[in-house]
Structure 1
Amino acid sequence: MIIVPEREIAGLLTLSDCFSAVEKVFASMANRSANNFPVVREAIGHAEALYGFKSGFDRESLALGLKSGGFWPGNMAKGLTNHQSTVFLFDADTGRCRAVVGGNLLTALRTAAASAISIKYLARKDAKVLGMIGAGHQSAFQLRAALDQRGFERILGWNLHPEMLGRLETVAQERGLPFEAVDLDQLGAESDVIITITSSFAPILKASQVKPGTHLACMGTDTKGKQEVEAELVAAATIFTDEVAQSVTIGEAQHAVAEGLLTEQAIVEIGAVINGTHPGRTSAQEITLFDGTGVGLQDLAVASAAVERATEKGIAIDIDF
């Protein structure tokens, strides 16, 4: 069995590597050659933590396995990231565990890759202003990945705790772009693309604050009850997602569906756009929204890439198990 420790991941995979891996698996899902299994995600009644696992199987790549972990809100005070996870890969022919891979950085990279893919396929080509809602650990990954997809000229940011926005400003400075902390009204009125990456259980952004032609990537809602934008905004947009089943149960669309504002049949898999079986955006005035719930197949794809790269570089730890 191969072990790829968390400490090695940063030297193995880039955002571009993860973008390619996730793009392929989204296409595989839309082709029905890859399946995610039901998600388990629950509050454990200790340390205010959410714990669960996501799993699946891709018949094209033979990636089989699961990611186990969750969200521990007190970890920052302990010098740890709030999200903690590990990916387990199994041999599809025998069922033996073939690899254990540190999943913290991989989760950040694959989540950023998913929103970037949505920007590539759904945002207007002339998008110039990028709005960021949320400034936690994941936000910097989201921002870097998004900036590779369009010729953005300005970055706007809002966070419940404004003192954290320096994380986004630092990334903007890396890219030589101006950054401005703004209120939600200004962010919605001026942004061509908006990424939401929070752990909110109440809507932050309203439909009245978003202009026609905006693309939204809602990346924080992955649990029953979470919500980043109001249901009316979801209903006003054309909705795309990684997986429809998760979108309507644990994703941003759960609230609009529950309120009867949106039907499950109206939600489109992003893989269909990648494969060319759905046109994606159809007008410059259309509001598009990607409901990024985070699927197990994403984790398996990037973990498999990490194992392959670690083996090539001779840094994979091989043990008898």
Structure 2
Amino acid sequence: MLIVAEREIANLMTQEAAFDAVEKVFAAMAAGDARNFPVVREAIGHEDALYGFKGGFDRAGLALGLKAGGYWPNNLEKRGLINHQSTIFLFDPDTGKVRSMVGGNLLTALRTAAASAVSISHLARADARVLGMVGAGHQATFQLRAALKQRSFDKVIGWNLHPEMLPNLEAVATQAGLPFEAVELDGMVAADVIISITSSFDAILSADQVSPGTHIACMGTDTKGKQELDPRILAGAAVFTDEVAQSVALGEAQHAVARGLIKPSDITQLGAVINGTHEGRSSDDQITLFDGTGVGLQDLAVAAAVVDLAVEAGVAIEVDF
């Protein structure tokens, strides 16, 4: 068995490699060559933690496995650790033997950012210039870095419930040579692309704060009850997702479907656009929305890629298991 330690991931996995891995697995899902298994997600009754498993099998990429982990909200304050903790396990699809164990913390942030970047690449207007960020937490900086590579943006605007965190975004924008402006939510009407990445359970962005032609990557809603957007936004948008069933069950679409504003059949897998079986954006004034719920196959794809990189770099640890 090969082990790729968490400490090695930053030196191995690039944004480009993560983008490529996620784009390929989205395409495989839409083609019917990859399948996610049912998600297990439970409150364990200790440390207010949520723990679960996401897994699947990509027959095209021969990636079989699972990610185990979750959210420990007291980690940062009590232990100086990040709150999200996870490990990815890959198995040989021919024999069932364990193939590798990979640190999943940084990979989770990179694959989530790659997913929204893939959606921007395929759905945002070619002339998008203003990037709006709703949320400024740990994952927001990863989202921003990945998004900036997808279009020739000339400005970043941002909002966060706690404005003192906005310098996190400003630092990334400055490093990219772009001006940054803190705005109220009404200021998001100036954005051509909006990424929402919060842990909210109440709608933050309203329909009148989104301009025609905007692409929205909604990346924070991944649990039943969570919500970042006014459901009317989805009713007026072309809605895409990683996996339709998960989008309806625990993604942003759960609220619009529950209110009868959209039907599951109104939601399209992003992989269909990648494969060319769906046109994607149909006009410059159409609002497009990606409901990024985070599927296990994304984790397996980036983990498989990083194992190959670790072997090439000579940093994979081999153990007799």
Same topology, TM > 0.5: yes
Structure 2 match to 1:139: 140
In 1: Cα distance, 2:174 partner to 2:104 partner: 28
Report deviation, 1:43: 2.1
Question: More deviation in 70-79 or 280-289?
Answer: 70-79
In 2: Cα distance, 1:251 partner to 1:301 partner: 21
Structure 2 match to 1:96: 97
In the TM superposition, what are the counterparts of 1:24-103 in structure 2 within 5 Å? 24-77=24-77, 78-103=79-104
1:267 correspondence with 2:267? yes
Structure 2 match to 1:174: 175
Report deviation, 1:72: 1.6
1:226 correspondence with 2:199? no
Structure 1 match to 2:298: 298
In the TM superposition, what are the counterparts of 1:206-245 in structure 2 within 5 Å? 206-245=206-245
**SS of the counterpart of 1:108?**
helix
**SS of the counterpart of 1:11?**
helix
- 1:60-79 CA-partner distances (Å, limit 9, x unpaired): 11100000111122222232
What runs of 5+ residues in structure 2 fail to find an aligned partner? none
Letter in 1 for 2:210: V
TM-score when normalising by structure 2: 0.98
- 1:166-197 CA-partner distances (Å, limit 9, x unpaired): 1100001100100011100012x100100000
Report deviation, 1:309: 0.9
CA RMSD of aligned residues (A): 0.8
Report deviation, 1:249: 0.2
Structure 1 match to 2:281: 281
In 2: Cα distance, 1:74 partner to 1:161 partner: 19
- 1:33-85 CA-partner distances (Å, limit 9, x unpaired): 00001111122222222211100001111100000111122222232112111
In 1: Cα distance, 2:230 partner to 2:305 partner: 37
In 2: Cα distance, 1:106 partner to 1:171 partner: 19
Using the aligned pairs only, state the percent identity.
69
Letter in 1 for 2:19: F
Letter in 1 for 2:7: R
Structure 1 match to 2:23: 23
**SS of the counterpart of 1:80?**
coil
Report deviation, 1:20: 0.3
TM-score when normalising by structure 1: 0.98
In 2: Cα distance, 1:109 partner to 1:310 partner: 16
**SS of the counterpart of 2:208?**
helix
- 1:243-274 CA-partner distances (Å, limit 9, x unpaired): 00100001010111111111000000000000
Report deviation, 1:22: 0.5
Letter in 1 for 2:305: A
Letter in 1 for 2:260: G
In 1: Cα distance, 2:186 partner to 2:46 partner: 37
**SS of the counterpart of 1:94?**
coil
In 2: Cα distance, 1:140 partner to 1:165 partner: 10
In 2: Cα distance, 1:209 partner to 1:73 partner: 31
Report deviation, 1:312: 1.2
Letter in 2 for 1:250: L
Structure 2 match to 1:191: 191
In 2: Cα distance, 1:226 partner to 1:51 partner: 17
In 2: Cα distance, 1:288 partner to 1:71 partner: 30
In 1: Cα distance, 2:155 partner to 2:50 partner: 35
Structure 2 match to 1:165: 166
Question: More deviation in 310-319 or 45-54?
Answer: 45-54
Letter in 1 for 2:112: T
Structure 2 match to 1:155: 156
In 2: Cα distance, 1:73 partner to 1:95 partner: 34
Where does structure 1 differ by over 4 angstroms across 4 or more consecutive aligned residues?
Answer: none
What runs of 5+ residues in structure 1 fail to find an aligned partner? none
**SS of the counterpart of 2:310?**
helix
Structure 2 match to 1:254: 254
Structure 2 match to 1:116: 117
**SS of the counterpart of 1:10?**
helix
